[in-house]
Amino acid sequence: MSACGNLHAATLELVKGTNLKQRLTVAFSKHLSQLDPTEFPVALRDEFVGIVRGLEAVRPLPGESAVQATVRKMSAEETDRCARRIVGLFGELARLGVLQGEDEKKAPRPLTARDRDERREDGGNTIPLLYAVEA
């Protein structure tokens, strides 16, 4: 799965009904931990690296991962902030047009006014774009 697909899956994980610390741990462990920062546009790499470093900052106890240890020690505010950063990164990828299906070897193109107009004619529904990555 592409970086965008993994980030999309992580975002979907974050909106489930379980405890946010649990959702954050699963989102990172299942969808983000194996990503290479070079899979992101240059403008977003530092943000991704910052998220990873922030989620692997605490030395784990025996039997747990660094992300489990880090999230366990986070306050509710820190957990919220980290989840917002992940969702924000996904939003930035969408804003840059990465979800438009460009060739991964090319730099992503920004969304055009026509792209935005087409979305408005559709009632602003962006859900099909979210699944375009998986197609």
CA-based nearest residue to 33, from 72, 77, 65: 65
pLDDT confidence band for 118 (50 / 70 / 90): low
Task: List, in order, residues 6 or more apart from 9 with CB less than 8 Å away.
Answer: 1, 27, 30, 31
Residue 1: pLDDT over 80 = no
Judge contact between 16 and 25, C-beta under 8 A: no
pLDDT of residue 112: 57
- The pTM for the full model equals 0.70
Q: What is the mean pLDDT of the chain?
A: 80
> Could you give the CA distance from residue 134 to residue 72 in angstroms, rounded to a whole number?
32
Give the chain's domain count.
1
Residue-number span of the structural domain to which 67 is assigned: 3-132
Per-residue pLDDT reduced to its tens digit, 28-86: 999 999 899 999 989 899 999 999 999 999 999 999 999 999 999 999 999 999 999 99
